[in-house]
Amino acid sequence: MSETLLHSESYGEITLSPGMTCLIVRWHGFANSRNFRFLLNKALELYRTYSVRYTSLAWLNDTRHFGALLTADQEWVNTNWNPRAWAAGIQQINFLAPATVFGQIAIQQYAHNTAQRADYRLEVRHHASLEEACRDLSAQ
């Protein structure tokens, strides 16, 4: 799978995979609130840019190395970022399964919070491996 690096920070990076028409947010570990929000906002900005060229652009969070997520950041994603993502045309958020229990809890909580919302309908999908995600997203 060929990826183009769009943005990089010590705590994560954003890549574009034209082969599977996917924007990938790859987390390298724990990100504090400022960094977490910055990378998600930057990725959303890049999604808006590239979704013009790739009209079926998918969103994949590579959370294999993701750490804990603060309650305030869970709330921010649920009430601020998710509605903006939905408005930008994102209908599905894909996750690679985190390796740590803290990451697993964070993603489970995200999925639960997202499912409770009536003002947007983001489908949350989980993938066990990058290969599975590539196969599923390439088929869409």
pLDDT band at 11 (very low <50, low <70, confident <90, very high): very high
Position 24, amino acid: I
* pLDDT score, position 19: 81
Strands 22-27 and 58-62: parallel
What does the pLDDT look like over 66-75, one tens digit per residue? Answer: 989 999 999 9
Give tens-digit pLDDT for 71-97: 999 999 999 999 999 999 999 999 999
Which of the two residues, 19 and 78, has the higher pLDDT score? Answer: 78
What's the mean pLDDT in 49-78? 95
- Length of the chain, in residues: 140
The mean pLDDT of 57-74, rounded to a whole number, is 95
Q: Which domains occur in the chain, in start order? A: 4-138 (3.30.750)
The pTM assigned to this predicted structure is: 0.94
pLDDT at 41 over 90: yes
Cα separation, 31 vs 130, in Å, equals: 21
